[in-house]
Amino acid sequence: MDKLTQMKCDACHSGAPKVTIDEMEIYHKQVLNWVIIERESVQRLERVYKFKDFVSALSFTQKVGRLAEDEGHHPAILTEWGSVGVAWWTHKIQGLHRNDFIMAAKTDEIYKDFANS
């Protein structure tokens, strides 16, 4: 199984396939801190990251935003004092695509720079 952090997102299009249950299980093993949750009939990946203050939370948010722009795939983000909630799903297919697991893994990589601060 290739590492999600080394993959690039595919261009999103409405005909793109959602991940199968088997793929979901395989990919989820690399992003175990994320939950797969269905909201308004759309499956998504969600994780809440903790920070020492708002400035750190905002800095992390900006880095995730830059990653999203670089990959052309964007999250829902809730930035608060001390925490940032991130959700990944693919709007075009109203569900989970491999892109979302790639982005969750890359979001975890960004957090490594903050985890011990």
Ligand X SMILES: C[C@H](O)[C@H](O)[C@H]1CNC2=NC(N)=NC(=O)C2=N1
What tokens does 112 get? 């490594």
Q: Give min distance, CB of 97 to ligand X, in A.
A: 8
Q: Which stretch binds ligand X (CB under 6 A): 30-38, 66-74, 77-85, 104-112?
A: 66-74
Tell me: does residue 72 bind ligand X (CB under 6 A).
yes
Tell me: does residue 74 bind ligand X (CB under 6 A).
yes
Q: How many CB atoms lie within 10 A of CB 59?
A: 17
CA atoms of 66 and 28, how far apart (whole Å): 23
Closer residue to ligand X (CB): 28 or 92: 92
Tell me: does residue 92 bind ligand X (CB under 6 A).
yes
Which ranges in the chain belong to alpha helices (H)? 21-28, 54-71, 98-115
Residue bearing tokens 């925490």 = 83
Q: Which residue in 12, 24, 26, 42 binds ligand X (CB under 6 A)?
A: 12
